[in-house]
Chain A
């Protein structure tokens, strides 16, 4: 490869030497191992028998697999209640939050209202308020509403939507105005236009917002930790903390089985809905 050669054919990609390519592949495999290793360790530990977990040094490859740890975890803490609470919180929380985002975005794009741009800045400004700063006042507000240790207390404070509203609004603004105008000229009210025209045209963005919101709701930790106070009302991530404190460092098999139970649904959703999650994340970055 001489300089003159490069000058005559600048548009052609450089040939990468085989040795460089080999190093690149070694690094790529190393990176994969960094991310796969811990997950492999989690899965195999949760399926190992206790004596194999507690041998020194521990075994990288389990000799036999058992479901025993999952049964133990299920008995050590009420995982059925954790699952129920996490599911109710995630489904209701996601539905209400996304409904809020869609209705608010539609109103701001398609309806007239005095000073609505000022109002919209108010919605966006909520993104500047760090959630952790609101913990104590929100706890006191929820307590004065009598919502401590209830689903309402778990769900309602989180259904206000700024980022999702922003994403939906940006998307609605790209829709051709003629279509919605035609629908309303056709006698369709705004709710029908939203439901039958605007939403079907916004499916990819709607799915993105739904998936991102659901992931956030499922993974919530500090709010369920402070707003619930009985074992029966705990969600999965908080329940896992209880399991860990209770089983201590002496029962890793049980704890890893519990951890796998918390992680599995999100891993599943991630690999199914990956492209929508990635699309939403990068959309936020490009616009932010």
Chain B
């Protein structure tokens, strides 16, 4: 803090000296730049970019990670994976899981933001409360919900018993397990969507809304015709981050279902883990990794394209 004061006091003095914007020794400056960015750039190169190339290479090989080196097999892994009904099931599960969570995040997140935007006492506290799970360990949240869903002794039974409903065994049911994961994932992350929408709403200019009000538009019409279109960039941001995040959801799945029962909750992210670190099939894990990478690139590109068009038109 004092340093700021000192340098400000030194200002008149400084103007008398040679101008600082053109130092005489650019090479020294280049060297300092290189030193400062090198650690970060090296780690990024080795642990973010290199893995893409390494994956691409491994996906063309067969390797159990014990043999001295991988065996080149060409596109055999892709042919095997893309024609495998089990892999189609994995893609479908991932799509359903992601679709439900994206829809839930947008719809419930929006509703939450509308509620928290009302002039209600205690809304700040509820906002904090709803956002809190977002910063908690996914593994711990999943463990907690595993107990909540326990049909014998969990919270679900406490709530359903008085209503005369038998608590379902969601997590161990091949139809219910994915739904259980979606509920937990939404519970953990819906506060994030709500907060993003709330911030967006509070940043909107009031004039448009008031103009619509004068024109006699009701609350719902104003929300649909005035507020919602202005929130498009926020929805766009949420779509991308939610899709990317959900594709990589792992801790909740690992703790609650381990991809089961059967393969009911085997998503791409679980498949990468189980092929790589349970079946030790490096070629297959790398192939699925590349497929996931490409899907996410396409999703991002398409969303950017659609959004650009809408922003320009609307």
Q: Is the CB of A100 within 8 A of B17?
A: no
Q: Is the CB of A58 within 8 A of B297?
A: no
Interface size of B as a range: 35 or more
Q: Is the CB of B161 within 8 A of A162?
A: no
Say whether chain B's binding surface is mostly helix, strand, loop, or mixed: helix
Interface string of B126-154 (1 = CB under 8 A from A): 10111111011111110111111010111
Is A152 interfacial (CB-CB < 8 Å)?
no
Interface string of A46-77 (1 = CB under 8 A from B): 00000001101110100000000000000000
Q: CB within 8 Å of B: which residues of A?
A: 3, 6-7, 10-11, 14, 24-25, 27-28, 31-32, 34-39, 41-42, 45, 53-54, 56-58, 60, 100-101, 103-104, 106-108, 111-114, 116, 119, 122-123, 125-126, 128-141, 156-162, 165, 178-179, 181-186, 188, 190, 196-197, 200-201, 215, 218-219, 221-222, 225-226, 236-238, 240-241, 244, 249, 252, 255-256, 258-259, 262-263, 266-267, 269-271, 274, 277-278, 281-282, 285-286, 288
Tell me, rounded to whole Å, the shortest Cβ–Cβ distance linking A218 to chain B: 7
Partner of A244, one of B49, B50, B143: B143
Beyond A32-B126, A160-B47, 12 extra complex contacts between A and B, CB < 8 Å:
A28-B115, A41-B144, A42-B147, A56-B157, A103-B39, A135-B273, A137-B50, A139-B277, A179-B4, A219-B136, A274-B128, A282-B199
User: Using Cβ atoms and an 8 Å threshold, which residues of chain B touch A45?
Assistant: 147
Q: CB within 8 Å of A: which residues of B?
A: 1, 3-4, 6-8, 10-11, 13-15, 17, 20-21, 26, 29-30, 32-34, 36-37, 39-41, 43-44, 46-52, 54-55, 58, 65, 112, 115, 118, 120, 122-123, 125-126, 128-133, 135-141, 143-148, 150, 152-155, 157-158, 161, 187, 191-192, 195-196, 199-200, 203, 210, 213-214, 216, 234, 237, 240-241, 244, 247-248, 250-251, 254-255, 269, 272-273, 276-277, 282, 285-286, 289-290, 292-293, 296-297, 300
